[in-house]
Amino acid sequence: MQGNSPVQALVLESQGDRLRLYAVNRRESKISAARLLPWSGPSYGADLSRQAMDEALEDRRALRASIAAEISALEVWELTQGEVQKASAEWLAGLVWKAPSVDQEAALGHALLAAKTHFRFSPPDFEIFPESVVEARKAEAETLRIRESFAVTGARFFQALCDIAMRKREPLGERELPDEDLAVKLKAMLTARLADPDKAEDAALWKLLTKGLPDSPHLALMLASAWGLVPEHHNFLLDRIGFDRGEDWADAFAEERRQLREAATLTLAGLPDDATPYVSVDPASTMDRDDALYVEENAEGFGVRLALACPAFAWPFGGGLDKAVLRRSSSLYLPEGDEHMLPGDIGREIFSLDTGKRRPSLVVALTVSADGAVLAVEPRLAAVTVDANLTLEEAEALLGQSGPDPSAGRQAARAAMLRRGLGLARVLQNRRISAGAVIIERPDPEILVERAGEETVVRMVDGPEAPLAHLLVGELMILCNGVLAEWSRERGIPLLFRTQDVALPREFAGIWTEPQDISRVVRALPPASLESAARRHAGLGLSAYATFSSPIRRYADLVNQGQLLRMLEHGAPVFTQDSLEALLPLISARADAVNQVQRQRPRYWKLLFFRSRGDRMWWDAVIADENEAFATIALPWAQLLVRGKRRRFSDKIYPGMAVQVRLGKIDPLLGEIQVLETRDA
């Protein structure tokens, strides 16, 4: 046998059980006699010339092929199945011919060897399968045939897509597309591989389809983009974590959303009004406003009232909508567009603290001393109508005024209130620094993704300058979350706490803005973790910290608000300590996955920006860190760190040293960028 087919050969020599053969393919070989098929003959003389041997072998091959073509293996099977389980080719040939010749016996053997669904050759006999086995083997053979056809046609199509992606050819024409059935299967496979490039299921088939194509973890993305299944610069990270885009995911929970809206309307009607003229301060693009503030001076120091959006009071914890929102974990704010945690009709239309809209709110009333100590805390549920939604730039302008403008009326009052809040924010920040807080300030640029014809253009510009507004809002929200964490801990309310329980050198406390200082400090700060036990948050300088202030945007805040409100309203939280701890691993894993997208996706666009500028440009940079093997540079304007081989830098570099660099070999998908050349600035 050669492959799956019998081969005719003449025996030239016999030495024990070893035979020297001359085959129809004009090759000599030595094999064991046990490998001969059991229908040898006829015999020829020993003095045949090479040409005579070739002619004899070819004659026998042709004769047996013509006989085999006339044999119906199916008819032989029908004659024997159910009657005998095993028989020799000689015996079976006797069913077809009265006195079969050796050529007829051999031809029948060849035909039965090819009928693998009905017979199995177990030398020297053929096994004859029963009908049940035949049907199963036919189905298996058909599956294999379809699979092989799929692999061959699919591989050819994938090669064409790869050529398109690598700009070796134009997009496919209509006639070059696969048929509908094949297209459906290929699309399903690419979609699955986008979500999991190491998918074990169908791994062998994927290997066949992509044989000879680039060995890249993003091959499925490249092919899907070339086919037009996903857009250029598709955010594959969302596929990897199973984060549904847009709003369609919420359609399955229409009834729960309707009930939630009705519950919110009913509860809101019975809530007392809080007439405080709250002001919210957010980026200009914000559509879901979580918080608003008001600060006044009093005999003790400051009176602070914070209004927090409050979907938690009517939230269907444990339901289908809740589980879907848990998987989303948080809103994403990306250069290519935002993805919201809550459905729009809930997060933005019912609970967002928009100007002039009466909303249910968790109001946190605080009395704070002149030196920043919290003297009194009162959380309660109330109806709030925010007086103004200010952008960061608008708030910054008001904070920068030297005094109230008498002609401005309410705007002057807002400016005065914001400046009181800013004064308190500075006190609170200094108090946290005294407690060891590590504050890192590194404003990110604004990444603008635009279309220019068929091309995607990435620009980076300086973000809005609003340090005072950021300080005001940031410190008051840290105050709110820290105070409510302590208040809840004292009352035994289980929460999801943010902890960073590490010992830091005293000299690390403070505000850090330079790349080399940030690099040094960050190395000592592990990421904060989500835990069910209240422990210190070293980076914030607080003994306990749990987030409440963004329940429209973060699932942990939604849970924490639910715990606090249910205790206030009913004397028992939604989740016991044990049930919250059981839920914590899933909440934490989803939060980590979504936060990773929020970190990595802007880097993709930054790398695309630098790649579009070419590798001949020189960029201003600062040495952030260095050792014997590598140096890490910071591009402060872009807020990007790049590690380069130490030998590419001068011998006398040090952290904080200004340099210029050329960057290249940039792969945004892999997150790779290299330092090509450096020089002293």
Question: What confidence tier does 404 reach under pLDDT thresholds 50, 70, 90?
Answer: low
Beta strands 86-88 and 119-122, pairing class: unpaired
Q: Which helix (H) or strand (E) holds 58?
A: helix 50-69
589/619 same-domain check = no
Question: What confidence tier does 244 reach under pLDDT thresholds 50, 70, 90?
Answer: very high
Question: What confidence tier does 464 reach under pLDDT thresholds 50, 70, 90?
Answer: confident
Percent of the chain with pLDDT strictly greater than 90:
79
Are 223 and 165 within 8 A, CB to CB? yes
pLDDT above 70 for 485: yes
pTM: 0.81
Cis (ω within 30 of 0) for the bond into 406? Answer: no
Q: Sheet containing 18-23: which strands, arranged edge to edge?
A: 9-15, 18-23, 28-32
Are 279 and 387 within 8 A, CB to CB? yes
What's the rounded mean pLDDT across residues 269-286? 95
Quote the number of domains for the chain: 4
Query: In this predicted model, what pLDDT tens digit does every residue of 425-454 receive, in sequence order?
Result: 999 999 999 999 999 998 889 999 998 887
532/656 same-domain check = no
- Which residues are 119's β-sheet partners? 128
Question: What confidence tier does 191 reach under pLDDT thresholds 50, 70, 90?
Answer: very high
* Secondary structure in 3-state letters for 290-306: CEEEEEEECCCEEEEEE
Question: What confidence tier does 345 reach under pLDDT thresholds 50, 70, 90?
Answer: very high
pLDDT of residue 408: 62
End residue of a domain, out of 129, 144, 161: 129
Q: What is the CATH number of the domain that holds 639?
A: 2.40.50.140
Please tell me the distance from the alpha carbon of residue 540 to that of residue 435, in angstroms, as a whole number.
9
What's the rounded mean pLDDT across residues 113-137? 92
How far from the centroid of its chain's Cα atoms is residue 365's Cα?
40
410/328 same-domain check = yes
Exposure b/e, 198-233, CB count within 10 A at least 16 = b: eeeeeeeebebbbeebeeeebbbbbbbbbbebbeeb
562/631 same-domain check = no
Q: Which residue's entry shows tokens 């026998």? A: 60
422/360 same-domain check = yes
527/586 same-domain check = yes
Cis (ω within 30 of 0) for the bond into 124? Answer: yes
Please tell me the distance from the alpha carbon of residue 201 to that of residue 196, in angstroms, as a whole number.
10
User: Please, what is the end-to-end C-alpha distance for the chain in angstroms?
Assistant: 75
How far from the centroid of its chain's Cα atoms is residue 327's Cα?
13
101/161 same-domain check = no
pLDDT of residue 402: 56
pLDDT above 90 for 147: no
DSSP 262: H
Q: What range defines the domain where residue 211 resides?
A: 134-230
Exposure b/e, 654-666, CB count within 10 A at least 16 = b: ebebebebbbbeb
544/569 same-domain check = yes
Please tell me the distance from the alpha carbon of residue 327 to that of residue 344, in angstroms, as a whole number.
17
Please tell me the distance from the alpha carbon of residue 580 to that of residue 559, in angstroms, as a whole number.
9
554/618 same-domain check = no
Across all residues in the chain, what is the average pLDDT?
93
Query: Apex CA 91: angle with CA 85 and CA 95, to 5°?
Result: 95
Which CA distances in Å does 265 have to 223, 225, 259, 364?
Answer: 49, 45, 10, 22
pLDDT above 60 for 26: yes
End residue of a domain, out of 575, 604, 633: 604
158/208 same-domain check = yes
What's the rounded mean pLDDT across residues 49-76? 92
Query: In this predicted model, what pLDDT tens digit does every residue of 88-112 receive, in sequence order?
Result: 999 999 999 999 999 999 999 999 9
Are 472 and 302 within 8 A, CB to CB? no
Tokens of 643: 């590690």
pLDDT above 80 for 146: no
pLDDT of residue 152: 86
C-alpha count within 13 angstroms, C-beta hemisphere, residue 231 = 8
Amino acid at 419: R
pLDDT above 80 for 40: yes
87/158 same-domain check = no
Q: What phi-psi label fits residue 244: left (phi over 0), alpha (psi between -120 and 50 degrees) or beta? A: beta
- Beta-strand runs (E) in 89-239: 119-122, 125-128
Cβ-proximal residues to 299 (8 Å cutoff; 6+ apart), any chain: none
Q: Is residue 87 part of a domain?
A: yes
Please tell me the distance from the alpha carbon of residue 521 to that of residue 515, in angstroms, as a whole number.
10
Please tell me the distance from the alpha carbon of residue 424 to that of residue 439, in angstroms, as a whole number.
17
pLDDT of residue 426: 97
What's the rounded mean pLDDT across residues 41-52? 87
388/283 same-domain check = yes
Question: What confidence tier does 676 reach under pLDDT thresholds 50, 70, 90?
Answer: very high
Please tell me the distance from the alpha carbon of residue 470 to that of residue 483, in angstroms, as a whole number.
20
End residue of a domain, out of 129, 162, 194: 129
pLDDT of residue 335: 95
Query: In this predicted model, what pLDDT tens digit does every residue of 609-645 receive, in sequence order?
Result: 999 999 999 999 999 999 999 999 999 999 999 999 9
Question: What confidence tier does 200 reach under pLDDT thresholds 50, 70, 90?
Answer: confident
What's the rounded mean pLDDT across residues 132-154? 83
Q: Is residue 534 part of a domain?
A: yes
Task: Indicate the SS3 state at residue 362.
Answer: strand
